[in-house]
Amino acid sequence: MLNATILLQILWTSLATSSYYVLFAVAFALVLKVTRIFNFAQAAIMTVAFYSAFVTVQWLEWPAWAAFVVMMAITLAASFALERIGFEALRKRGVSVMFVFVFTFMVSEFVAYLAMLAFGTWPQTIFPTIFWPVTLVGNIAISAWDLPAIGATIVMLALLFSFMRFTRMGQFMVGVADNPDLAELYGVNKRQIFLVTVLMAGALVAVGMFLYGTRAQVLPQTGLSLMLFAIAATIIGGIGNLAGAAIAAVILGVIQNSSILVIPSEWQGLLLYVFLFLAIVFFPNGLRMPRRRRRFATATRDIGDNQDVSAAEGQV
């Protein structure tokens, strides 16, 4: 039964569905890289993003583009509040990594609970319908959702990477990620960089959630269950490595979907946990590409880096 059509179809659909996974993973990896926060509160941002789009489309009956704008605005506002009210206060008090993690976890549970009170627990979607018409290319079914989803993801990633590489602010971000105190000595406004980072992650999450919510049903706890995938991809991709997280998310998605051709379908759901387990036990620093020349000069910083990393991993 294994023929080219089936293989290509699985590859294509998993590529398309990995679009939101990539965005969630990169958002998570970005915050972890720059702020060193194991940001479980991303689930809360996802929930806020989804329900603001849901309300705009289904209750206010505004068009899709307006829903997207409203969703982005509310998501960014929520991210702003998370950084300024939550993270900054904790940072000022100098609390431990563990404490911040517990805080982010609590925020995500709290928001899920609020969403449950406000919207009930019936699964919802952004648009009333989730059926997207398909076009056959060869024998491969390509739905009207697939291309825009992949396109939006590529655009978001391109924006992020060119921002980090070519803008002054982006370079400051990399600087803060490497050594926040040193960066501050050089005149970088740490506070501003942290805020920009959390906002950018919010924007990635908003786009991801818009894609997810136009294709599958969402419950108040969906954000939480999607986090596991983002965390797995971040760890496997190598903490601090955004491109690694993105690639890991795509590969994980494709492997999970195509696994059904070789293992019984009942075992499919287990794969993610197997990967996560293997990654944590054998590759706690991710499957890193050999580092570029900077490696030697940054050896001392790596040690500090890894301490943070192992502290964060202990909490997965």
Partner 1 sequence: MSPRIWNVKGLTKAAAVVALLMASGAAASAQQAYRFGLAMPLTGSQALYGQDQVKAAQWAVDEINKAGGVNGKKLEMIVLDTQADPQIGIQAVNRLISVEKVPAFITAWSGVVKAVAPIANDNKVVELSVGANSPDIAALGDYVYTTFPLADIDIRAVANYAATKMGKKKAAIVFINADTGTAAAEVYKKVFTAAGGQVVAYEAYDPKATDFTGQLLKVRAANPDMIHLQGLVSDTPQVIAQMRQLGLTQPVSSYSAAYNPKLVQQLGAAAEGVIATSLAPGAADSEKVKDYVARWVKEVGREPNGLPYTEYLYDAPYMIADIFKALDNKKLPPTGENFRKEMLAQGAFKLPLTGNTKLGADHTVVKPVYLMEVKGGKWTKKAVVGE
Binding site for partner 1 (CB under 8 A): 1, 3, 6, 9-10, 13-14, 17, 116, 120-123, 125, 128-132, 134, 136, 141, 143, 212, 215-217, 219, 221, 225, 257-261, 264-266, 268-269
Name the minimum Å distance from CB 111 to partner 1: 15
Closest separation in Å from C-beta 210 to partner 1: 15
> Residue 246 in contact with residue 237, Cβ under 8 Å?
yes
| 7 vs 159, beta carbon nearer partner 1 | 7
Compute the least distance from the CB of residue 308 to partner 1, in Å: 30
At its nearest, how many Å lie between partner 1 and the CB of residue 106? Answer: 16
Closer to partner 1 by Cβ: residue 14 or 241 = 14
Q: Report d(CA 299, CA 155) in Å as an integer.
A: 34
Q: Taking the complex as a whole, how short is the minimal distance between the CB of residue 87 and partner 1, in angstroms?
A: 28
Kindly report the length of the chain.
Answer: 316
Across the chain, where does the E strand assignment appear? Answer: 134-137, 140-143
Which residue, 6 or 97, has its beta carbon nearer to partner 1?
6
Which residue's CB is nearer to partner 1, number 31 or number 224? 224
216-to-62, 129, 194, 235, 300 alpha-carbon distances in Å: 20, 10, 32, 26, 46
The Cα angle at residue 199 between residues 310 and 46, in degrees rounded to 5: 75
Is the dihedral angle over the CA atoms 63, 65, 66, 68 positive or is it negative?
Answer: positive
Minimum distance, C-beta of residue 246 to partner 1, in the bound complex (Å) = 18
Closer CB to partner 1, 131 or 283, in the complex: 131
295 contact partners, CB below 8 Å, separation of at least 6: none
* Cβ closest to partner 1, residue 120 vs residue 304: 120
Q: What is the CA radius of gyration of the chain?
A: 20
Query: Would you say 25 and 246 are in contact if contact means Cβ atoms under 8 Å apart?
Result: yes
CA distances from 213 to 30, 222, 281, 290 (A): 23, 10, 34, 38
∠ Cα 150 153 155 (to 5°): 110
Nearest to 286 by CA among 18, 29, 43, 104: 29
- Min separation Cβ 137 and partner 1, Å: 13
Quote the least distance from Cβ 260 to partner 1, whole Å.
3
Task: Give whichever of 111 and 173 is closer to partner 1, judged by the CB atom.
Answer: 111
Q: Which residue number, 85 or 261, has a Cβ lying nearer to partner 1?
A: 261
